[in-house]
Amino acid sequence: MNSKLHRLWATKNKNDEWWSSFVTSPLAIAANFIVVDWKWLTPNLITLLSFVTALVATALIVVGGQFEFFTAAVLIHASHILDCMDGQMARYRDVSSQWGSFLDKMTDQVQVFLWFGAVGYAAYLQTDNILPIFLAFAGTAFYSLRGYIKYATITIAMGEDTDYLEKAAREVSIIESKQAGSAGLGKGLVANLRWFAGEQRKILFFNEGVFIFMLSAGLVFNSLNTMLWVFAISQTFYGIARSLQRGRQLERDQLPQILTTSEK
């Protein structure tokens, strides 16, 4: 049993996002401990279950009402736990595939648009003001820009240096080796507390893990407008900041750093 738990813990992403790192990802490991040996349950099926759960949460947000909002918050967390489970299961079984990775990333992107679009609509119905819809649109647009800029600059870098991906992969390997084993099962209380404290800085990165927390809090406390303002401002800031950063890296020919610079 302990061997199985250690193997599952080893599948946890070493650079998990803020809320994922110490909430949804550990819960996913606990759930995988029960189901990971069910042969009929595949990682891709879990990805689809995660997406369906996200769709149900979106529908409840659109319907509106405090009970519906609370249920949607629970389902958003369930969707994210499933989203962590699929990758863990694939690594545990050593069946990772390019198609599975693509499906996972594609559904993640669509979920962000659906959730914040639904929240913008719900806030519009509450306030009879078009501003929440604009905030949701601005936030999702600049969130997408963060990812687009990364891959656009990678494409440019590959055109300038055919060995770029190999160089960047070596740097990623070095970073991951430093992160591996710093905390977790059997590492002791002090090491884990040090890791936990260090993870808290990630809340400022406003990535998907923070979205889960923000969305849930906004829905539970019915503070949709406040949450949308935070979302729009944070994504606009990071969208512009990452664009400038990538441009400077290209100009200074810092090619390997383009892939290794954190997007969080």
Question: Domain ranges in the chain?
Answer: 2-260
Q: Tokens standing for 108?
A: 């993640």
Residue 257 pLDDT:
58
SS3 assignment for 192-246:
HHHHHHHHHHHHHHCCHHHHHHHHHHHHHCCCHHHHHHHHHHHHHHHHHHHHHHH
pLDDT recorded at residue 172: 63
CATH match of 2-260 with 1.20.120.1760 = yes
Q: Which pLDDT tens digit goes with each residue over 131-162? A: 999 999 999 999 999 988 888 888 887 777 77
Identify which of 112, 10, 2 has the alpha carbon closest to the alpha carbon of residue 57: 112
pLDDT, position 232 = 96
Q: Give the model's confidence band at 30: pLDDT under 50 very low, under 70 low, under 90 confident, else very high.
A: very high
Residue 47's pLDDT is 96
Distance between CA 175 and CA 14 in Å, rounded?
Answer: 10
Q: Phi/psi at 182 (nearest 5 deg)?
A: -75, -20
How far apart CA 138 and CA 129 sit, in angstroms, is: 16
CA 15 and chain centroid, separation: 11
> Are the C-beta atoms of residues 86 and 44 closer than 8 Å to each other?
yes
pTM of the complete model: 0.87
